[in-house]
Structure 1
Amino acid sequence: MPQVAHPTSTFPARRTAGRPVLLARWLYAITALIILMVVIGGITRLTESGLSITQWKPVTGTLPPLTQADWEAEFAAYKQSSQYVLMNQGMTLAAFKHIFFWEYVHRLLGRLIGVAYALPLVWFAWRRAIPVGFGMRLIVLLLLGGAQGGVGWLMVRSGLTDRTNVEPAMLAAHLGMALVLLAAVLWTARDFALLARDPAAGKARLTLAGALPVLLLFVQLMLGALTAGLRAGYVANTWPLMNDHFVPEGIAWAGSLWMTLTSDPFLVHFLHRWWAWAAAAAIVWMAARLHGAGAQQQAIALVGLTLGQIMLGIATVITGVALVIAVGHQLVGALLFGAAIMGAHRLGTR
Structure 2
Amino acid sequence: MANKRNIFEEVGSDTKITSASAGAIARAGSGDRHWVRLWLWSLVGLIIVMITVGGLTRLTDSGLSITEWDPVMGAIPPLSAAAWQAAFAAYQTTAEFAVQNAAMSLAEFKVIFWWEWGHRQLGRFIGLTWALGFALLFFTGKLPKARRLSLFAIGPFIGLQGFIGWLMVHSGLDGVRLDVASYWLMAHLGAAFALLGYIYWSLQIFSRSEAELLQARRARERKLFGMSTGLMHFVALQVLLGALVAGIDAGRNYTDWPLMAGGFLPPDMFSLSPWWRNFFEDDGLVQFIHRMSAYLLFAFAIVVALRAKASAHKVTRAAFGTVGLVLTVQMILGIVTVMHSSPWNLAILHQFTAVLLWLAVLRGRFLAGYPIATSVRGTS
Q: Name the TM-score, length of structure 2 as normaliser.
A: 0.84
Match of residue 307 from structure 1:
328
Larger deviation, residues 301-310 vs 276-285: 276-285
Question: Does 2:294 align with 1:276?
Answer: yes
**Aligned twin of 1:218:** 236
1:344 corresponds to which residue? 365
Pair 1:328-2:346 in alignment? no
Alpha carbons of structure 1 residues 189 and 45: separation in structure 2 relative to 1, 3 Å: same
Does residue 1:262 correspond to 2:280, yes or no? yes
Q: Any idea what the Cα deviations from partners look like across 1:153-181, whole Å, max 9, x if unmatched?
A: 00000000111100001000001111111
Equivalent of 2:314, from 290, 294, 298?
294
| Match of residue 199, structure 2, among 182, 185, 188 | 185
| Counterpart Cα distance in 1 of 2:331 and 2:164 | 29
Equivalent position of 1:59 in the other structure:
72
Paired amino acid for 1:132: K
Q: Is the 8 A contact 2:269 2:285 kept in 1?
A: yes
C-alpha RMSD over aligned residues: 2.2
Deviates more, 1:39-48 or 1:149-158: 39-48
**Per-residue Cα deviation, 1:245-289 (whole angstroms, up to 9, x for no partner):** 111112125567743211211111001112112222333344444
Shift of 1:219: 0.7
In structure 2, what is the Cα distance between the partners aligned to 1:26 and 1:196? 19
Tell me how far 1:67 sits from its aligned partner. Answer: 2.5
2:31 to 14, 18, 40: 18
Q: How many residues align?
A: 339
Q: Cα distance, 1:15 vs. partner?
A: 8.0
- Residue 349 of structure 1 aligns with an amino acid whose one-letter code is Y
Given the two structures, how large is their TM-score scaled by the length of structure 1?
Answer: 0.90
1:114 corresponding residue in structure 2: 127
Number of the residue aligned with 1:6: none
Q: CA deviation at 1:308?
A: 1.1
- Tell me whether 54-63 or 192-201 shows the greater mean CA deviation: 192-201
- Compare relative contact order (CA 8 Å, sep 6+) and give the higher one, 1 or 2: 1
Q: Which amino acid in the other structure matches residue 313 of structure 1?
A: G
Q: Unpaired runs of 5+ in structure 1? A: 1-9
- What's 1:244 paired with? 262
Structure 2 SS opposite 1:16: coil
Q: Does 1:42 align with 2:34?
A: no
The one-letter amino acid of 2:66's match is: I
What is the identity, as a one-letter code, of the residue corresponding to 1:169? Y
Cα deviation per residue 1:95-130 (whole Å; 9 max; x = unaligned)? 111111211111111111111111101111111211
Shift of 1:31: 1.2
Percent identity for Structure 1 against Structure 2: 35
**Partner of residue 102, structure 1:** 115
Letter in 1 for 2:184: M
Does the residue aligned with 2:70 lie in a helix, a strand or coil? coil
Partner SS, residue 251 of structure 1: coil
Q: Which one of the candidate residues 157, 172, 176 is aligned to 1:144?
A: 157
Using a 3 Å threshold, how does the CA distance of structure 1 residues 90 and 194 change in structure 2: closer, same or farther? same
> Matches of residues 132-171 of structure 1 in structure 2 within 5 Å?
132-161=145-174, 162-171=176-185
